[in-house]
């Protein structure tokens, strides 16, 4: 649909979806705070023409509303995916009339993939040696370890099979010629690196900045390993992706319409401390060792625009991208997981913290089979909490879904906690890195209780506040975790709360008044094996049997990373300069 970033920005300008900021803006903290405020207001894409310390303009917030997502891709990719699913279902077993009826899909398939071109804006200029310090790389939070490239499209190939991966992995800029490569567990580029390391070989790496919007979205998409992202990019774009030969002899082709291309390699067995970084969970991810990307050269357009994004407490720009990708790919879930009828992850929780699915229950406990299938597939294996029901629901309406599950939830048989399993690298609730626990919660069949919807009793002295989030879910506030570590266990054993199937303990019970706040503050702040309590827990047939209420301790614990909060002087600076950025208003 859009062959380059330029054509997309032109459309956004015509649609009054872009504002150009002519005042000088500092890439250290100031630019990011402007971006965050505009996101909060549902505002336009931002083109910063005068960025301190760099000759390149910066564009952010390109995908920060549903409307701009629609302008980027239109309805065609979603309709094509649905049509592909219908084709797969209707032509098995194959029959000629049905194949002929679906011939338009075959024509569309011919447009997928890449094509070579010699007309390539990306090769207009080459900087060698690389000078990363001349790029307007952002520092978005005050405790960040340095500037980070936040929208890099990192391209690698498997050393043996040559299958490619394109992913977005943040890049901590160490100096003018090197960065970190934040390859977490379950990341395709990381698999390629580990294989190259096993072979004692450097891994060639190419990083694109900008290009067709479809290329950016394809890099973010949670595709299964070995499913080529460049094919998805061409599907989103509605045409083959233009690639060109690297004139320096590097083994990777270059995306012809990219704004920048960073070319180099990652040496085996070389690590460097990377981070901290204010991440999409709304907290700082901590300092850890990661592979090092040595940049040999930077290709770019003569008038290159540097694309960036800012992450932090949801909802940020990545929230809208994630929701779009879920809608785009959701028709495929029943194909790869036939017992899964619908599935949704919640961007307010950082996506990995909470997932819900509607599954088939054609025989007793089939739902668990579906649950294990979900937790064993692709990026979904990083899911921390999985809610399952067998009745069609609007999964995006979390309060209604949660009530539906709680009406049917039998804690004795329907709660499963799995300890000593892999966990998202950015989730520190277990106190460990890449390791923790998961939980599955079932709400199947007919209701087993009428949910309480108000709490009017006198609170015991050890609690200060009670709020109802939804039917069956009570939020309580008492002392902090350091003041009263056993609070959650005491609540679970108090007969006053025995009619509530689920209770969540928070530092501030007011989060119950907002579904986005509840989702973020609850599911990002507890780990199942450490922070779930019950009135009584027994072991039967090697299964933990819980007696209601189930209590989740979602208070901040010692050792948790700090929450992302804007520094006072930066907030004051942006306040004072607001009319300079937007003389005609936002």
**What does the pLDDT profile of the chain (586 residues) look like in tens digits?**
799 999 999 999 999 999 999 999 999 999 999 999 999 999 999 999 999 999 999 999 999 999 999 999 988 788 777 776 666 555 555 555 554 555 555 556 667 889 999 999 999 999 999 999 999 999 999 999 999 999 999 999 999 999 999 999 999 999 999 999 999 877 789 999 999 999 999 999 999 999 999 999 999 988 777 778 898 888 888 889 999 999 999 999 999 999 999 999 999 999 999 999 999 999 999 999 999 999 999 999 999 999 999 999 999 999 999 999 999 888 888 878 889 999 999 999 999 999 999 999 989 999 999 999 999 877 888 899 999 999 999 999 999 999 999 999 999 999 999 999 999 999 999 999 999 999 999 999 999 999 999 999 999 999 999 999 999 999 999 999 999 999 999 999 999 999 999 999 999 999 999 999 999 999 999 999 999 999 999 999 999 999 999 999 999 999 999 999 999 999 999 999 999 999 999 8
Give the tokens for residue 291: 């592979």
224-to-187, 342, 376, 385, 436 alpha-carbon distances in Å: 10, 18, 11, 20, 23
Instruction: Count CB neighbours of 559 within 10 A.
Output: 8
Give the tokens for residue 231: 């094919």
The answer to whether the Cα torsion of 420, 423, 427, 433 is positive or negative is positive
- Cα–Cα dist 78/68, whole Å: 15
Render 156-209 in DSSP notation, one character per residue: EE-TTT--EEEE---EEEEETTEEE----TT-HHHHHHHHHHHTT-PEEEEEEE
180-to-132, 149, 276, 308, 564 alpha-carbon distances in Å: 13, 10, 12, 17, 22
422-to-47, 83, 290 alpha-carbon distances in Å: 40, 36, 18
SS (H, E, C) 311-378: CCCCCCHHHHHHHHHHHHHHHHHHHHCCCEEEEEECHHHCCCCEEEEEECCCCCCHHHHHHHHHHCCH
Is this structure's pTM higher than 0.85? yes
Query: What are the structural domains, with CATH classification, of the chain?
Result: 5-74+111-307 (2.30.110.10), 317-443 (3.40.1670.10), 463-553 (no CATH)
Question: For residues 41-72, b (16+ Cβ closer than 10 Å) or e, as one string?
Answer: eebbbbbbeebeebebbbbbbbbbbeebbebb
Q: Crossing angle of helices 317-329/76-90, nearest 10°? A: 30
Under DSSP, the state recorded for 380 is G
Helices (H) and strands (E) in the chain, counts: 17, 28
Question: For residues 499-535, b (16+ Cβ closer than 10 Å) or e, as one string?
Answer: ebbbbbbbeebebbeebbbbbbbbbbbbbbbebbbbb
Q: Crossing angle of helices 317-329/213-220, nearest 10°? A: 80
- Cα–Cα dist 520/507, whole Å: 13
What's the number of CA atoms in the CB half-sphere (13 Å) around residue 549? 28
**End-to-end C-alpha distance for the chain, whole angstroms:** 28
> In what order do the strands lie in the sheet containing 532-540?
463-470, 473-478, 502-506, 543-553, 532-540
Residue 63, H or E segment: none
Instruction: Count CB neighbours of 173 within 10 A.
Output: 22
Dmax over CA atoms of the chain, in Å, equals 76
- Cα–Cα dist 309/12, whole Å: 17
């Amino acid at each position: 649909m859009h062959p380059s970033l330029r054509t997309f920005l032109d459309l956004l300008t015509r649609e009054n979806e872009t504002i150009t900021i002519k005042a000088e803006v500092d890439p250290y903290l100031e630019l990011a705070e402007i971006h965050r405020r505009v996101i909060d207001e549902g505002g336009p894409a931002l083109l910063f023409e005068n960025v301190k310390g760099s000759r390149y303009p910066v564009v952010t917030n390109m995908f920060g509303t549903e409307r701009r997502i629609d302008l980027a891709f239109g309805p065609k990719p979603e309709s094509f995916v649905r049509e592909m699913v219908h084709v797969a279902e209707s032509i098995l077993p194959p029959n000629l009339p049905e194949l002929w009826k679906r011939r338009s899909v075959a024509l569309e398939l011919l447009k997928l993939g890449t094509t070579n071109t010699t007309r390539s804006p990306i090769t207009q200029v080459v900087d060698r040696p690389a000078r990363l310090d001349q790029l307007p790389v952002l520092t978005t939070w005050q405790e960040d370890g340095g500037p980070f490239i936040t929208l890099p499209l990192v391209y690698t190939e498997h050393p043996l099979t040559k299958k490619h991966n394109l992913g977005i992995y943040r890049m901590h800029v160490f100096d003018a010629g090197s960065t970190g490569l934040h390859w977490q567990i379950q990341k395709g580029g990381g698999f390629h690196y580990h294989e190259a390391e096993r072979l004692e070989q450097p891994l060639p790496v190419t990083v694109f900045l900008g290009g067709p919007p479809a290329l950016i979205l394809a890099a973010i998409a949670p595709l299964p390993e070995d499913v080529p992202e460049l094919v998805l990019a061409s599907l989103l774009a509605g045409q083959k992706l233009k690639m060109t030969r690297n004139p320096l002899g590097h083994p990777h082709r270059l995306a012809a319409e990219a704004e920048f291309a960073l070319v180099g390699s990652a040496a085996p067995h070389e690590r460097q401390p990377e981070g901290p970084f204010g991440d999409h969970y709304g907290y700082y991810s901590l300092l850890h060792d990661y592979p090092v990307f040595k940049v040999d050269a930077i290709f770019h357009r003569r008038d290159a625009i540097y694309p960036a994004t800012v992450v932090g407490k949801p909802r940020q720009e990545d929230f809208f991208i994630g929701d779009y990708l879920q809608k785009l790919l959701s028709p495929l879930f029943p194909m790869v997981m036939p017992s899964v009828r619908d599935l949704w992850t919640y961007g307010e929780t950082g996506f990995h913290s909470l997932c819900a699915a509607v599954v088939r229950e054609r025989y007793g406990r089939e739902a668990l089979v579906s649950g294990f299938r979900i937790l064993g597939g692709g990026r979904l294996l990083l899911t921390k909490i999985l809610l399952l029901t067998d009745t069609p629901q609007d999964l995006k309406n979390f309060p209604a879904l949660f009530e539906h599950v709680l009406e049917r939830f039998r804690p004795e048989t329907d709660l499963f906690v799995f300890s000593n399993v892999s966990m998202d690298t950015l989730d520190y609730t277990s106190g460990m890195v890449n390791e923790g626990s998961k939980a599955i919660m079932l709400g199947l069949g007919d209701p087993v209780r009428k949910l309480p919807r108000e709490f009017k009793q006198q609170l015991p002295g050890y609690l200060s506040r009670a709020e109802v989030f939804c039917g069956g879910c009570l939020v309580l506030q008492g002392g902090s975790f350091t003041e009263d570590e056993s609070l959650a266990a005491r609540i679970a054993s108090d007969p006053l709360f025995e009619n509530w199937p689920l209770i969540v303990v928070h530092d501030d019970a007011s989060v119950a008044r907002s579904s986005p706040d509840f989702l973020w503050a609850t599911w990002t702040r507890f780990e199942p094996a450490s922070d779930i309590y019950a009135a009584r827990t027994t072991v039967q047939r090697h299964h933990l049997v819980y007696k209601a209420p189930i209590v989740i301790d979602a208070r901040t614990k010692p050792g948790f990373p700090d929450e992302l909060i804007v520094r006072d002087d930066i907030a004051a600076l942006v306040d004072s300069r607001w009319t300079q950025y937007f003389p005609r208003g936002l």
